[in-house]
Every structure is written in structure tokens, then in C-alpha cells.
Chain A
Amino acid sequence: MIKIENIQKSFGDNHVLKGISTQFEKGKTNLIIGQSGSGKTVLMKCLLGLYEIDEGHIFFDQKDYQNLDADGKMDIRRELGMVFQGSALFDSMTVIENVSFPLKMFTDQSESEMQDRAAAVLKRVNLKQEAFKRFPDEISGGMQKRVAIARAIVMNPNYLFCDEPNSGLDPKSAMIIDNLIQEITQEYNITTVINTHDMNSVMEIGDKILFLKDGYKEWEGSNKEIFKTDNEAVSSFVYSSDLFKKVREVYLKS
């Protein structure tokens, strides 16, 4: 579980996060949505420790990240897995080397143990063995995302973060990635936080949705509740297309 309390973050005069508080539950896919510039990416980077927050607290299962010493913060970091928007795979390494990289860095496993573990998670994300020895630029975008997920879960993290995991993918691949993240969240019982613009993801896998607007928390609820919300900002963002308006109408009628 991740709990955040009154997070504030500014860059010079630009006050990006203006006191956000919420809780991301374990075993659930938690989505952060909002328009560009609403503070989604900054919030995620604060949670990942890439940005220092100006005020507030971030609790990783009761541990207050701000009050931990360097070693404590490092221990938390090793419990994090991250899937970047562009996958961020190391292009000088093969697929299997990318996935076994965290094991090489932080464990004392033998080469064969690392290979076995990496192969197991790659199989879990449904990647065929012939792709294992390829370099990232030799595989498709969807496969790169799967490799990124495999790398993120290879150390058995407690927290999984995904930044726009299905951006740039065709609808079918996007759905496969969404479902894969949801399955992994439940199977490993981890806290997953996803930053997304994709309304399909919101409807399909949004166990909890946090809607940000201009650096404030505007709304939060589940993918069932978002159909019923009368919040104007959420409605105009989520139901901006006719298709989703109709989906909402059908849902409410049923």
C-alpha cells in the first residue's frame, strides 16, 4: 500500500503539485489520469524518488520515505519496479540481459540462476524464447513493453509503476498489456500505480482512479463510480468522445 499526504512540489515559480493526498491499495491497479500538465508525471516521479517533494509525506507500507536514511531509501527503491513510457530498455543489451540486469546488480545468484529467473519472467509476460537473444531495436513496441514489465517484476517488487504503458501500441497490444499488468498485480499481490491517458484502460482495469487537475486532486473513485460521477471536470475529460458518452449511457441504463 502507498499512502501520500499533502504532497507539494514546485519548480521555481511553477507550483505543480498542490497538496495531493490519497492511498493506493495493494493488489489493485491504481490509475492516475488527467490532462497534460495536470501533474501526473511529476507525481509519479515523486513517488519513485526521482524528484524530492517540497512538503508532505509518502508512506510505503507505513514507512515514511522522507524520514528514512539513505540505506532505508535504497531498500525501498529495490522494492520498486518501473515500466517507462518508452520502455527504457538498455539498447546495448539483449532482451534477456536487460531482464537479468537488476539480478546481476543486486543479487549474488549464479549466472544460470539469473538466466533461469529471467527466462521465467519473460515467459510469464508471454514472450517467445526466440526473442530472448534479440536486442530491443529488433523487437516490436508491444514486445518491448513486455520486456520492460518483465524487467520491472524480476526482483519481485512490492510496488509497480507504469508510465503510459500502452502508449504507441495498437488497440489489441494495448489491451494485452493492460490485462497483463492487471494479472501480475493480482498474482504477485503488489501495489500498481499507472499513469495513463487511455480511456480503455480506465474502463477496463481502473480499480482505483485518481483524477488530477491543475496540480490538485479533483476526484477519486473506481471504474464503476466514474460512470456515475457528476464531477464536471472528470466527465468532460473521460467522456470527451461520443463513443465513451454512449458507453456511459448504456452502463447507466443497465
Chain B
Amino acid sequence: MIMLKEVFKKPTKKSIMKSLIYKEIDELIFGSLGIVIFISFFIGGVVAIQTALNLENPLIPKSLIGFATRQSVILEFAPTLTSIVLAGKIGSFITSSIGTMRVTEQIDALEVMGVNPLNYLVYPKIIALLMYPFIIAIAMYMGVLGGYSAINIAELSTSTDFIEGIRLDFDPYHVTYAFIKTIVFAFLLATIPSYHGYYMKGGALDVGKASTTAFVWTTIVIIVMNYVLTQLILG
């Protein structure tokens, strides 16, 4: 909480902050698109195949494959699994880059110059990660597309059945729920790794340790918050 208070105190000059935010959007958001697209596509494919292989009863319609894929991807795989993967990618990057600045006295240099290091380093990351729902929307789309492709390639169902399943009983509130979770996870992804990087002590080896600790804690908090938010929003 003390760190967050400092993040919003003594703001950096607007023109500089703008360029820092663009840089963070490029690194954290666009830099993560490749891995998110790859993971989501194949996870969606696996969910669809497993659902299809478990539907042995001829009375259960094949459209259930599309329905199950959509629900799994939108409710859990896209927001939660992607966030856990990105806790490793984005989280480690944030902790190691800020931690290295701490070890090499670059943060002290900012402080001596009269710059608020927390505002300069953490605030642009928080703002950049407000675009995180954009990544998750792409993950949702790619997950469903992966399921559709897998079903067609393995000929486990027809395209018509799958698409019918995707449309079946669609509740837009589930997407809202997923995006609410996403915003909370984005905040956790920006702040927990920053905290571990900023307040780390020691040398190069400790930067590695701090990155691992940040990943573990970000994952734990994401999983706990996932449970709490699900209980609050859907429970």
C-alpha cells in the first residue's frame, strides 16, 4: 500500500510519461501477443478434442463440444491461464528489469536527481496494462478458433454443430465477468513483480531469486483472487 501511494505521488513530466507508457505498451502488451495466441489456440484445440472424446452417449448433441469449449475458454482459460503464463513472462521481465536497476544503483541515481522512481518505473506499467483486456479478448477468440480447427481436422464433429454450440445460451455477462477478472489480474501483474524488483536487496543472483519469488506470489494471488471474484460475481 505504501508503494502504491508513492507510485501516484510526485508525477513525472507528462511528455516523458507518455513516451514511457507507449514503450511499456509495446513491451508488455504487443510483446506478449505471440505467446498468448500460440497458447490459446492449442489450449482451445485440446479442450474441444477432450470434450468430443468424452461424449459417448448418442443422446447428447455434438453442439455441446462448441458450448463447452466456449465456456471453458471465456470463463477460465483465457483470463486465468493466460494471466498465469504472463506472470512468468511479464512478471519476470518487470522484476528483473527493476531489480537490475536497483542493483546497479540506477534507482538511486533517479532518486538523487529528484525523480520519483516509483512513479517513473511502475506507473507506466500499470497504465500500459489497462490494455490487458485486449490481449485476453484475442486469447478468447484464438481459443475458440483453436477448438473449431481441432474438431475439423480430427473430424470429431461438424462445423455447423460446433458453431451452433458456440451460439447456444450465450450470456454476455460471462464476458463481462472475464474482463472484470482481467482488469484485476492486470493490476496484480504490474504491481507484485514491481514490488519484488524495487525492494530487492543484494546482487545479480538475488535478481534471479526475486524474479522467481515474484512469479510464485503473482500466481498465488491471481489464483486466490480468481476464486474470490468468481464467488463475488457469479456466486
Residues of A within 8 A of B (CB): 48-50, 74, 77-78, 80, 82, 84-86, 88-91, 101-102, 104-106, 161
Q: Does B232 contact A (CB under 8 A)?
A: no
> What CA separation (Å) do A91 and B108 show in the bound complex?
14
Question: Are the CB atoms of A105 and B106 closer together than 8 Å?
Answer: no
CB-CB nearest in chain B for A80: B112
The B97-141 residues at the A interface (CB cut-off 8 A) are: 100, 104-106, 108-109, 111-115
Can you report 7 residue pairs joining A to B where beta carbons are below 8 Å apart?
A77-B112, A77-B113, A86-B105, A89-B106, A101-B113, A105-B16, A105-B114
6 additional contacts (CB under 8 A) given A82-B112, A105-B113: A50-B112, A78-B113, A84-B105, A84-B108, A86-B104, A105-B12
B5 CB contacts on chain A under 8 angstroms: none
Report the minimal beta-carbon distance from B201 to chain A, rounded to whole angstroms.
13
CB-CB nearest in chain A for B97: A92
> What CA separation (Å) do A90 and B108 show in the bound complex?
11
Known A50-B111, A77-B114: A85·B16 in contact at CB below 8 Å:
no
A90 CB contacts on chain B under 8 angstroms: 106, 109
Q: Is the interface of A mostly helix, strand, loop or mixed?
A: mixed
B115 CB contacts on chain A under 8 angstroms: 105
Question: Are the CB atoms of A84 and B114 closer together than 8 Å?
Answer: no
B105 CB contacts on chain A under 8 angstroms: 84-86, 88
> What CA separation (Å) do A101 and B13 show in the bound complex?
12
Report the minimal beta-carbon distance from B37 to chain A, rounded to whole angstroms.
27
> What CA separation (Å) do A131 and B12 show in the bound complex?
28
A74 CB contacts on chain B under 8 angstroms: 114
Question: Are the CB atoms of A84 and B13 closer together than 8 Å?
Answer: no
Question: Are the CB atoms of B104 and A88 closer together than 8 Å?
Answer: yes
Instruction: Enumerate the 10 nearest inter-chain pairs by beta-carbon distance, A residue then B residue, closest first.
Output: A88-B105, A77-B114, A88-B109, A82-B112, A84-B105, A88-B106, A78-B114, A48-B112, A74-B114, A102-B113
Interface residues on chain B, size class: 10 to 19
Contact with A along B28-68 (1 / 0, CB 8 A): 00000000000000000000000000000000000000000
> What CA separation (Å) do A77 and B202 show in the bound complex?
26
Known A104-B16, A105-B13: A50·B113 in contact at CB below 8 Å:
no
B13 CB contacts on chain A under 8 angstroms: 104-105
A82 CB contacts on chain B under 8 angstroms: 108-109, 112
> What CA separation (Å) do A88 and B114 show in the bound complex?
15
Contact with A along B73-112 (1 / 0, CB 8 A): 0000000000000000000000000001000111011011
Question: Are the CB atoms of A88 and B16 closer together than 8 Å?
Answer: no
A49 CB contacts on chain B under 8 angstroms: 111-112
> What CA separation (Å) do A84 and B113 show in the bound complex?
12
CB-CB nearest in chain B for A48: B112
CB-CB nearest in chain B for A163: B105
> What CA separation (Å) do A88 and B113 show in the bound complex?
12
CB-CB nearest in chain A for B105: A88
A91 CB contacts on chain B under 8 angstroms: 100, 104, 106
CB-CB nearest in chain B for A77: B114
A80 CB contacts on chain B under 8 angstroms: 112
CB-CB nearest in chain A for B115: A105
> What CA separation (Å) do A77 and B13 show in the bound complex?
17
B104, B114, B115 pick with most chain A CB within 10 angstroms: B114
Report the minimal beta-carbon distance from B194 to chain A, rounded to whole angstroms.
16
Question: Are the CB atoms of A106 and B104 closer together than 8 Å?
Answer: no
A50 CB contacts on chain B under 8 angstroms: 108, 111-112
> What CA separation (Å) do A104 and B106 show in the bound complex?
17
Report the minimal beta-carbon distance from B15 to chain A, rounded to whole angstroms.
8
B16, B108, B109, B115 pick with most chain A CB within 10 angstroms: B109
Report the minimal beta-carbon distance from B199 to chain A, rounded to whole angstroms.
15
> What CA separation (Å) do A82 and B115 show in the bound complex?
14
> What CA separation (Å) do A47 and B111 show in the bound complex?
13
CB-CB nearest in chain A for B113: A102
B100 CB contacts on chain A under 8 angstroms: 91
> What CA separation (Å) do A60 and B62 show in the bound complex?
80
Report the minimal beta-carbon distance from A151 to chain B, rounded to whole angstroms.
8
Question: Are the CB atoms of A106 and B109 closer together than 8 Å?
Answer: no
B111 CB contacts on chain A under 8 angstroms: 49-50
> What CA separation (Å) do A139 and B109 show in the bound complex?
19
A104 CB contacts on chain B under 8 angstroms: 13, 16
> What CA separation (Å) do A48 and B105 show in the bound complex?
13
CB-CB nearest in chain B for A84: B105
